Amino acid sequence: MNPVTLRRKPARALLVAMSTLTLSCHPAEPESTGDEGAEADLPNRVALTTDALASLELTYATAEVMELGATVDVPAELVPDPDRHAEIGARVTGRILDVFVNDGDHVGPSDPLLAIESPEMGRAWADLVAARAAERVARRACDRLAELLEDRVTSVRSFEEAEGAWEIANADLRAARTRLAALGVTDPVEPPDNPARVVLRSPLAGTVTDRMASRGAWVDPADILLRVIDLAEVWLEASVYEQKMRYVDVGQDVQVDVRAFPDEVFLGRVERIDGILDEETRSIGVRVSLANEGGRLRPGMFGTARIRGSYAGEARALVVIPAAAVQELDGGLAVFLRVGEGVFEVRPVHTGRRDGALVEVVAGLEVGDEVVADGSLLLKGQLLRSELAEEDEG
DSSP 28: -
DSSP 9: P
**CATH number among 3.40.50.300, 2.40.30.170, 3.40.720.10, 2.70.98.60, domain 71-81+230-308:** 2.40.30.170
* CATH number listed for the domain at residues 9-69+315-393: 2.40.420.20
| Domain ranges for the chain | 9-69+315-393, 71-81+230-308, 84-115+198-228, 119-195
**For residue 319, pLDDT beyond 80:** yes
Q: Which of 5-9, 129-133, 218-222, 334-338 has the lowest mean pLDDT?
A: 5-9
Q: Does domain 119-195 have CATH number 1.10.287.470?
A: yes
Instruction: pLDDT band for 3, please (50, 70, 90 cuts).
Output: very low
Q: Is the dihedral of CA 46, 50, 52, 56 positive or negative?
A: positive
What span, in angstroms and rounded, lies between the C-alpha atoms of 229 and 81? 8
The class level of CATH for 84-115+198-228 reads: mainly beta
DSSP state string for 251-319:
T-EEEEEETTEEEEEEEEEEEEE-SS-BTTTTEEEEEEEEE-GGG---TT-EEEEEEE---TTT-EEEE
pLDDT mean over 230-259: 87
Contact between residue 306 and residue 71 where contact means Cβ atoms under 8 Å apart: yes
Backbone angles phi, psi at 289, to 5 degrees: -90, 135
pLDDT value of position 222: 86
What span, in angstroms and rounded, lies between the C-alpha atoms of 72 and 145? 81
What span, in angstroms and rounded, lies between the C-alpha atoms of 315 and 311? 7
What span, in angstroms and rounded, lies between the C-alpha atoms of 321 and 62? 7
pLDDT mean over 3-30: 41
Q: Tell me whether domains 9-69+315-393 and 71-81+230-308 share a fold.
A: no
pLDDT value of position 315: 55
pTM value surpassing 0.75 = no
